[in-house]
Structure 1
Amino acid sequence: MNTQEVVLETPLGSLRGLQQDGLLVFHGVPYAMPPVGARRFAPPALAQPWAGERDARHRGAIAPQTPSRLAVATGDFEEPQDEDCLTLTVWTQGVDAARRPVLVWFHGGAYTSGAGSLPWYDGSRLASEGDIVVVNVTSRLGALGYLYAPGVSPGNLGLLDQVAALEWVKSHIAAFGGDPLQVTVMGQSAGAHAIALMLARPNAEAPLAQRAILQSAPLGVTLYDLDKAKGNGDFFLRALGIDPDDPRARELACQASIKQILDAQTATTLHVVQQSSPGEPGALPFIPIADGVVLPTPGHMASALKGAAGKLDVLIGTTRDEATCFFYGNPAIEALTRAPIPEEDAARLAARRPGGSAGRLLMDFVCEQVFLWPSLDWARRAAQAGRNTYLYQFDWAAANRDLAATHCLELPFVFGTREAFAAAPMMAGADTGRVDALSAAMRASWISFIRTGNPNHAGVPPWPPFEPARRATMRFDDVTGAVGDLAGDSWRAAPTT
């Protein structure tokens, strides 16, 4: 790899980045002030100009976090952690006046793990193949991002971080060769969910993007109301050794070490899991909340999301077996003799998967309820609003049949980062030639959508737009093609209000 150093003058200051094989990359670019000290548990404040030259040659720190629960599928990672993590990574072919389309990436991880700076999400192939500017966002996670405790933290801080990142893009991406009027937001799992929530904010200004790519969005997840969120917050503070009613609670919480924060976060998560229903996949104490300020109240959340679906052109889809990694290796799930789901759903799913175990039927049910049906409904509403709408399903399956086409499996294909996922169990035993061929086709579709709002290109069969009466779906597998009705009978059983 041919690497040279470059210096870019931006309105906020000088950045020393890298030029690698004709592509420019700038790491650790601040979009907000560091949320440290008294700024812990405070809303983000936009980045201020700096003096001198800022080193942008090395990946930025990731948000403090515990190991991902999905490492059983994706593998794990070791990266430096720091509260000073509100940064971006930017890839571009040139810092000129070309005004390239912009892609802004929001990673998944259940709002508790991951980072935009991980090699998994390296944007170099998308940037070079599509001549687009790729911006990866790292934001606060877990309790530091989503604690709700009156007088200590208002909640939804990680979501506000992501809004601040989009505001930075609007104001500063032109200095990196990007067009602030051609922005596509893309996210997977929690990242896709966050995009939907940002679009649902009450009294939000015009959307800070023109298109959206939503991969495996858990749109069926119900947000906490203030009472439930406060209960989780009170438990967290007590786990830190702080009385929630202590007038100094915020001061004490800001003084706690990162280890203490993460230990209390783990204790709170265990508490919530112990209170959850058998087989419930979520049970996460630190996620966005329906607070009536940043997001609508619980009573208005559903209608706000319905309206949000019509705001942007969208490419949306799921993997075929989203839920397998959430239950993988869980002896309680393997021991089930009856899936804890409604009888009519169990009968329908059993007919679709003859011989399927109770645990596997539960996984199919969670896939439908949390991911598939809500994504189909989002597509329907977007199409009805006149938006360019394209639906996909990722069917390529892992060699491990218990994982199959699991959650996160499309990521190395979309980014072309097979090498970065070399240790991922979900990629074990994969034929690299087949992976690379499918990856190239998917990247070209994603790039085409980012550039034109249409994912069609010469390398895939025709991909018709989604329409409520003609639910065309592109199925990505070794044999890729569009089908007329993704979910068949199960979609007809889904709620459509």
Structure 2
Amino acid sequence: MTESLVARTSLGDMQGTRHGGVAQFRGVPYAAPPVGELRFAPPRRVSAWTGARDARQHGPIAPQRPSRLRAAMGDMPSAAQGEDCLTLTISAPAIDGGSRPVLVWLHGGAYMSGAGSLDWYDGAALARDGDVVVVGVNYRLGALGFLYHPGLSDGTLGLLDIIAALTWVREHIAAFGGDPDRITIMGQSAGAHAILCLLTMPDARRLFRRAILQSAPAGLPPLSAATASERGDRLLALLAIDRGHPPDVAARVKAEPAERFLEATGALARATARFGQVVPPFMPVIDHLADPARFLDSAAEGAGAARVDLIVGTTREEANAFFCDPSAQEHDPDAAQLAGRFAALAGHEDAIERYRQRRPGGRAVDLLSDLVTDYTFLFPSLRFAEAAAEAGARVWVYQFDWAPPGTPFKACHCLELPFVFGNPHAWRGAPMVQGAAAAELADLSAVIRGAWTGFARTGEPTACAPWPEYRAWDRQTMRFASVIGPVGDPAGAAWRRAPRRAPRAER
């Protein structure tokens, strides 16, 4: 049975619903709609209203094309799209004046797709079973969120949206039973990458106390101004906007339909795609952090300075979601291209032999996936975790190794998401979980949700086995698999030999 209820904030009353023991408020605005003259403007504070605002339905999600990972994840749940997308979805056990921990969710999608309001990320189970408040964030994506063009946008609007959302949560979450002093920000993929960016910003990192980084592509630093400017110019050219008349540029880009931006972005993505790379065409632009080592060191120093508690983890075969689509025509990568990627990432072509020995019977595409998993996700995440621990932050590291029997995707990027949110029904069409036993899904999800909500509550993850803090001398890592428990040094010492500077080809 669904019933109505009201939350009272300093901005005005909000009418939500209560169902299955969880109160939910949807389409909650945290900033003014970024439309018209506010397109490409930093987020503006939302104005107060009179009467009870209807918060029973989701608002639009940011304009986007289908995810590039739909072969593994399945089709994204249907949702209306529009630029009036700066909204939150709030799930709470009760509107009772409580003071519960708060989990703020930042979705992935390569800064190009996704939304915190999707059914995939429904926070009801987390809120109910963990007695926490869960907040999903929608933020601007693609060119509308990360275009860089001097005088128009600095390439960080999506990050500024997230900061505005966290500010709103700090100011108003008490009205939904949340504790503004116990905010844990959690993100996956691009959402985890955004957390790394926030940790480099003193004002931003003061808005949360803890952070959970799932599958961060930590090997991809923010874009440099030069690279972002070149991509911005190419996008404007695709839109047939003359850059020679600066006053006209702003007027034109504010008048272009969102659909035209999506078409041009798709063309730019195809033009900038490179073999064996997962770099999106648009992502945050932070010029002084465009070096990967400097980016991770700055984020680690920020976590230590603010004493942010951290959970950091990856899946065992992250890149299988990108490269191992069984519906695509089977073919091995070109040998020369493969050798070039191994030389670029591992430092020498001969590394492919080490990878071949490590994956008996593996195809060339499997070796490429292992390489990209290591150098884009695993090794840089471990480097960040160790640097953050050395800087004074408390850090726990995990690796998600579970996979359904026989799946070609194995333990791929995004596979942990159904377990974190405890809503397998929303993922029943996802190829990456096909063949999984329902009881195994439920039990593993209960362990992970308990660890995540326990971390939000106390600053230490609780699991069915002891989960030691991550330290340089033993690198204890929680392994989520058919058998759960801590292991030492999951990547060996190999990550220490990874190049600390990304080659020019990555940019």
Alignment TM class, shorter chain as reference: over 0.9
Partner of 1:186: 186
Partner of 1:319: 315
Partner of 1:266: 266
Partner of 2:241: 242
Partner of 1:305: 299
Match runs of 1:330-369 below 5 Å: 334-337=332-335, 339-340=338-339, 341=342, 342-369=348-375
For the residue of structure 1 that corresponds to 2:203, the secondary structure is coil
Q: 1:333 to 1:212 in 2, by over 3 A?
A: farther
Q: Is the 8 A contact 1:290 1:298 kept in 2?
A: no
Q: 1:441 to 1:205 in 2, by over 3 A?
A: closer
Distance 2:283 2:74 in 1: 23
Q: Is the 8 A contact 1:279 1:333 kept in 2?
A: no
Q: Is the 8 A contact 1:41 1:154 kept in 2?
A: no
Partner of 1:288: 284
Match runs of 1:433-452 below 5 Å: 433-452=439-458
Partner of 1:477: 481
Partner of 1:131: 131
Match runs of 1:422-461 below 5 Å: 422-457=428-463, 460-461=464-465
Q: 1:467 to 1:12 in 2, by over 3 A?
A: same
Q: Give the C-alpha shift of residue 299 in structure 1.
A: 9.4
For the residue of structure 1 that corresponds to 2:415, the secondary structure is coil
Q: Give the C-alpha shift of residue 335 in structure 1.
A: 3.6
Distance 1:336 1:397 in 2: 28
Distance 1:484 1:298 in 2: 26
**Residue-pair matches, total:** 487
Q: Give the C-alpha shift of residue 437 in structure 1.
A: 1.0
Partner of 2:418: 412
Q: Is the 8 A contact 1:400 1:426 kept in 2?
A: no
Match runs of 1:4-403 below 5 Å: 4-77=3-76, 78-201=78-201, 203-204=202-203, 207-246=206-245, 247-273=247-273, 276=274, 278-282=275-279, 284-291=280-287, 301-310=295-304, 311=306, 312-329=308-325, 334-337=332-335, 339-340=338-339, 341=342, 342-403=348-409
The one-letter code matched in structure 1 to 2:323 is F
Q: Is the 8 A contact 2:221 2:290 kept in 1?
A: no
For the residue of structure 2 that corresponds to 1:65, the secondary structure is coil
Q: Is the 8 A contact 2:242 2:249 kept in 1?
A: yes
Distance 1:125 1:190 in 2: 23
Q: Give the C-alpha shift of residue 107 in structure 1.
A: 0.3
Partner of 2:504: none
The one-letter code matched in structure 2 to 1:215 is Q
Identity of aligned residues (%): 48
Q: For structure 1, which runs of at least 5 residues remain unmatched after alignment? A: none
Distance 1:116 1:191 in 2: 10
Distance 1:129 1:411 in 2: 16
Q: 1:163 to 1:4 in 2, by over 3 A?
A: same
Distance 1:496 1:221 in 2: 11
Q: Is the 8 A contact 2:12 2:50 kept in 1?
A: yes
Q: 1:298 to 1:334 in 2, by over 3 A?
A: closer
Q: Give the C-alpha shift of residue 333 in structure 1.
A: 6.4
The one-letter code matched in structure 1 to 2:471 is E
Distance 1:198 1:40 in 2: 22
Distance 1:93 1:302 in 2: 36
Q: After the TM superposition, which parts of structure 1 deviate over 6 Å for at least 4 consecutive aligned residues? A: 295-299
Q: 1:258 to 1:479 in 2, by over 3 A?
A: same
CA deviation profile, 1:404-438 (whole Å, cap 9, x unmatched): 00000000011101110010110112111111111
Q: Give the C-alpha shift of residue 175 in structure 1.
A: 1.1
**Residue 486 (structure 1) aligned with residue 480 (structure 2):** no
Distance 2:371 2:293 in 1: 25
Q: Give the C-alpha shift of residue 127 in structure 1.
A: 0.7
Q: Give the C-alpha shift of residue 399 in structure 1.
A: 3.9
